[in-house]
Homo-oligomer: A and B are copies of this chain.
Amino acid sequence: MQVIKRKKEINSIVKKLRKDGKKIGLVPTMGFLHEGHISLIEKSKKQCDITVISIFVNPVQFGPDEDFARYPRDFERDRMLAAEKGVDIIFYPEPSEMYAENHLSYVKVEKMEKVMCGKFRPGHFRGVCTVVLKLFNIISPDKAFFGMKDFQQLAILKKMVSDLDIDVQVVECETIREPDGLALSSRNVYLKPEERKNANVLYRAINIAENEIKKGNSITASKNKAVKMLKDCAFVKKIDYFDIRDPEDLKTVKKPDSKKPKILIASAIWFGKTRLIDNKVIEV
C-alpha cells in the first residue's frame, strides 16, 4: 500500500494504472475510519481493480463555529486498518496541498444545498462539492463510493455529477449501524457513555415515522409522533430538523404520491454537544 501526499504524484500513478486498463475505485473519507468506511472499501475492492482512499479533513466544509479543529484524527490507526483491508493507495494531502492560499473556485448545487443540514451548516455542501470535484479531477476514478448515512451529501453529489457531466459513477452504500441501531459516524466518539446509551433514539424516531406513514397516517401526524419521541428524550438538546422529502431532489413531501413511491425520512439532532444525523429511504 502506498501513502501519497502530493496531487501530482497520485495523478501520474493513477494515469498509468488507467492506461494499463485498471478500474479505479475511490473512497473519499475524512479519516478516523469505522465499519462504515470499511464497507465502502470492501465494495470498491469487489467492483474495481485498484482502491484508493483519500483521508482529508476538508476545512472548507466546516463553518467557523464547527468542529474542524477537534474532528477526530488518527492517521496511524487509519493506515493500519486500510492496509489490512487491502487498500492500494491512501491519498493523504495537507490542506495547503489541496487549497492554494488564494483559492477562489467553488461548486454549488443550488436549492438542494439550502435545505436540511444546509440550512444549519451554510457553505457546508459548497465545501463538500468542491473537494469531491477536486478529488475526482486529481484521481479520475471510474467509481466513487459514498455512504447513505450522509444522504443529503450523496443526493447533492449525484446531482453535481449528472449536471456537470462528470465521468465518474457514484455508488451509494447502505448505512452501517451499531447493534442498537445507531448509525456509525466518526463523531460518535464525542458521545459521553450516558449519551451513547440513548443515542439510538434518532433511529427509533425515524422508524416510528416510517411505521406511521406505512400505516397510512398523514405525513404531518407521522412526523409529529417521531418528533415527540425525540423531545421526550432528555439528551436531545435541539432538533435541527425532522424532514420527509423526495430522496432525489430533496423537495418536501406533503402527501405520499404513488408515482413517487420512495420517501426520505431524515433528521439531525443535537445530543449534548454532538450533532447526530440519520435517515431512511422508505417505499410506500
Residues of A within 8 A of B (CB): 7, 11, 100, 102-112, 129-130, 133-134, 137-138, 140, 159-160, 162-167, 249
Distance of A129 Cα from B133 Cα, bound (Å): 14
**Residues on B with beta carbons closer than 8 Å to the beta carbon of A164:** 105, 107, 130, 133-134, 137
Q: Which residue of the partner chain B has the closest CB to A249?
A: B102
* B104 contacts A165, C-beta separation under 8 Å: no
Question: Which of B100, B129, B130, B137 contacts A166 (CB under 8 A)?
Answer: B137
Q: Please list the 7 inter-chain residue pairs (A to B) with the smallest Cβ-Cβ separation, ordered nearest first.
A: A105-B163, A137-B165, A104-B110, A105-B160, A105-B109, A138-B165, A134-B165
In the bound complex, residues from chain B placing their C-beta under 8 Å from that of A112 are 104
Question: Which among B100, B160, B167 is the interface contact of A162 at CB below 8 angstroms?
Answer: B100
Contacts of A103 in B (CB 8 A): 163
Residues of B near A134 (CB, < 8 A) are: 164-165
Is the Cβ of B167 less than 8 Å from the Cβ of A104? no
Given A104-B159, A111-B104: A11 touches B167 (CB 8 Å cut-off): yes
A161 (CB) vs chain B CBs: closest residue: B105
